[in-house]
Amino acid sequence: MNCIDTHTHLYLDEFDADRRETVEAAIAAGVNKLMLPNIDSASVHPMLALCEAFPDHCYPMIGLHPTSVKENYMDELAAMECWLLDRKFYGIGECGIDLYWDKTFFHEQEYVFRHHIDLALAYNLPLIVHIRDSFNEVIRILKDVNKPDLRGIFHCFSGSPEQARQAIGYGFSLGLGGVITFKNNKMQETLKQVDLKHLVLETDAPFLAPVPYRGKRNEPAYIPLIAEKVAEIKGISLQEVAEATTANALKLFNIASDTQI
């Protein structure tokens, strides 16, 4: 099987002891490409170091995570723009709105998200959108900016069929992670209704590990567990899920297919 983890934070401290082994385990599990969304200016160097160590497998993105939007957000945006001028990135993110952890900087989060939308359009890159407790706010902003050329991923999507239709209507794919393997998750009906061409796989490692690793550290090697769940819900083969989601991700990130895929 060949899959892509479209969202993994493998450069974080949680992997300091075994980062190389974790990448090798992912490759051995058939997860050949790892897309790395950024958190803030401090995570750029560790992220790029990982991409230099595994140039055929790890791909950097650049952005300011909504929970990292603080008083210094203008400095963070300036640093991000410098990086974009300096080298190739494959996406803009992780960005968006988070109303789960802390609402103090909600207005700044919105300003920063709108700035990320502008950068995604200027650089023709996919936008990786974090929507924790903020789906309606994100849709309101996308409606307001009204840019049909925008593309990207609604990261960790777990919404209703109607919410899926809205996200897809704005040009976005749905990022499916460990949450779809949890008991009582609401994605069964949504996944039955959504065409495979709108789906990509992601772990959000080290967070949100799928069953049977729920609560433990997540890692890209667990992507097949998510693919299996999609196959089970949609009543299709694992191979079909792997092929479709991989093709979707390659197209979205504008990465050429290679012999490993």
| Type of residue found at 73 | Y
Taking the least distance from each CB to Ni ion, the nearer of 173 and 234 is 173
Taking the least distance from each CB to Ni ion, the nearer of 1 and 99 is 99
User: Minimum distance between the CB of residue 235 and Ni ion, rounded to whole angstroms?
Assistant: 30
Taking the least distance from each CB to Ni ion, the nearer of 110 and 204 is 204
User: Minimum distance between the CB of residue 6 and Ni ion, rounded to whole angstroms?
Assistant: 10
User: Minimum distance between the CB of residue 177 and Ni ion, rounded to whole angstroms?
Assistant: 9
User: Minimum distance between the CB of residue 207 and Ni ion, rounded to whole angstroms?
Assistant: 7
Taking the least distance from each CB to Ni ion, the nearer of 40 and 94 is 94
Residues of the shown chain interacting with Ni ion in the complex, contacts defined by CB under 5 A:
94, 204
User: Minimum distance between the CB of residue 204 and Ni ion, rounded to whole angstroms?
Assistant: 5
Taking the least distance from each CB to Ni ion, the nearer of 40 and 234 is 40
User: Minimum distance between the CB of residue 192 and Ni ion, rounded to whole angstroms?
Assistant: 26
Taking the least distance from each CB to Ni ion, the nearer of 48 and 128 is 128
Distances (CA, A) of 101 to 69, 131, 202, 229: 12, 12, 22, 28
Q: Helix/strand/coil (H, E, C) string of the chain?
A: CCEEECCECCCCHHHCCCHHHHHHHHHHCCEEEEEECCCCHHHHHHHHHHHHHCCCCEEECECCCHHHCCCCHHHHHHHHHHHHHHCCCCCEEEEECCCCCCCCCHHHHHHHHHHHHHHHHHCCCCEEEECCCCHHHHHHHHHHHCCCCCCEEEECCCCCHHHHHHHHHCCEEEEECHHHHCCCCCHHHHHHHCCHHHEEECCCECCCCCCCCCCCCCCHHHHHHHHHHHHHHHCCCHHHHHHHHHHHHHHHHCCCCCCCC
